[in-house]
Amino acid sequence: MKGNIINYKGDVRIKMISIIVPVYNVEKYLEECLESIKNQTYRDIEVILVNDGSTDNSQVICERYCQQNPRFYLINQENQGQSVARNNGVAASIGEFITFVDSDDVIKRDMLQQLMKYIDTGIDIVECDFTEDKEIYNIENRQLKIEEFTSSKALKKCLDMEIKWSPVAKLYRRKIIKETPFLENLIYEDLYSGIVSLKNIEKMRKINYIGYYYRIHPRSTMRRKFDSKNLDLFKIGDTLLEKFSEDKLLPYIAKVLFFVCIAHVELYKIRPGHPYFKEYDGNLKKYSGIAKKSSEVFKNSKLLRWYTFSPKLFIIVIFPLYLHYLNIRNKINYTKDNVE
């Protein structure tokens, strides 16, 4: 194998970590990402690069890394989106464990070693922290806190946003990813897979170790200009609501969808007069209505209560101020926890 195309099927390798990296037009950031993967202290890895029809020099960069390092492999495909790229990468991989790295992001040298340290019998996922702040990412991690959750507890934590639904900064047992492939041809697909995959685990662990730098730039999903693909959120939402329709966690699912939807409204400045205001307004009302059916959800969510009091005031004034407050508070807390 020349290191540029994967076309084999092999036996699953125990203790090997397969790193799946979807690649699309990220020549500016790709080398930094691949260097951080290449320099991992955990050595039993394979790196599956899935070039999703890039039109810049990304493929050339991938080929160079594959030629220089026998652990790197490349799949070239027509542009089909990140979810297809991830699924194809998983299908070609042979590691017992799987992790995902976005090709514009960076991981610490010992991230995989730290995650692997806490994989044990009955533990199907280990999650570490990620940050969008390079200053916080560069802070040296000190004393680690390890938490362990059953499937039901992990789901509840995820829906309370204490566990992230993003597939990055996690180490998965292979079977978990195989049981919940990414929904294809949709964006925000990781919202669905991140939540539903927790139904299939026995237990997971979370460590307060910052191992992953999530880069925000103009091409990031939540930083692109608004287009109709953003409405995929509502398709994902309907799929989740149907999946949990008979589950006591349904109001919690609706709460999460409400939060993501209101984040869109703020990020893209969706106000009366916007072409898709009615879609967002209708879904906000639907999600908040389902969430309010749980007195616990309503009682514990000041955002839902504020929205119910005055949707217009909430969208224009309250929520933007709340986001600003959270940004300042989180930065202070991370610095305090990791420096003192």
pLDDT by position in tens, the chain (length 340):
334 444 444 577 879 999 999 999 999 999 999 999 999 999 999 999 999 999 999 999 999 999 999 999 999 999 999 999 999 999 999 999 999 999 999 999 999 999 999 999 999 999 999 988 888 888 876 688 999 999 999 999 999 999 999 999 999 999 999 999 999 999 999 999 999 999 999 999 999 999 999 998 665 554 568 889 999 999 999 999 999 999 999 999 999 999 999 999 989 999 888 999 999 999 999 999 999 999 999 999 999 999 999 988 888 888 888 888 877 776 666 555 555 5
Q: Cα separation of 141 and 157, whole Å? A: 23
**pLDDT the model gives residue 224:** 62
Q: What are the φ and ψ backbone dihedral angles of 210, each rounded to 5 degrees?
A: -90, 100
CB 4 within 8 A of CB 66: yes
- Nearest C-alpha neighbor of 125 from the set 43, 206, 241, 4: 206
Partners of 125 in the β-ladder: 172, 204
Q: Cα separation of 180 and 194, whole Å? A: 9
- Nearest C-alpha neighbor of 20 from the set 83, 113, 109, 114: 83
- The pTM assigned to this predicted structure is 0.87
**pLDDT the model gives residue 216:** 85
CB 80 within 8 A of CB 54: no
Residues of the chain with CATH 3.90.550.10: 13-213
Q: Cα separation of 57 and 59, whole Å? A: 6
- Nearest C-alpha neighbor of 179 from the set 157, 196, 192, 155: 196
- Contacts by 325-333, CB closer than 8 A, 24 or more apart: 331/133, 331/136
3-class SS string, the chain = CCCCCCCCCCCCEEEEEEEEEEECCCHHHHHHHHHHHHCCCCCCEEEEEEEECCCCCHHHHHHHHHHHCCCEEEEEECCCCHHHHHHHHHHHCCEEEEEECCCCCEECCCHHHHHHHCCCCCEEEEEEEEECCHHHHCCCCCCCCEEEEEHHHHHHHHHCCCCCCCCECEEEEHHHHHHCCCCCCCCCHHHHHHHHHHHHCCEEEEEEEEEEECCCCCCCHHHCCCCHHHHHHHHHHHHHHHHCCCCCCHHHHHHHHHHHHHHHHHHCCCCCCCCCHHHHHHHHHHHHHHHCCCHHHHHHCHHHHHHHHCHHHHHHHHHHHHHHHHHHHHHHHHHHHHHC
Q: Cα separation of 23 and 124, whole Å? A: 26
CATH 3.90.550.10 assigned to domain 13-213? The reply is yes
Q: Cα separation of 142 and 136, whole Å? A: 13
**pLDDT the model gives residue 317:** 87
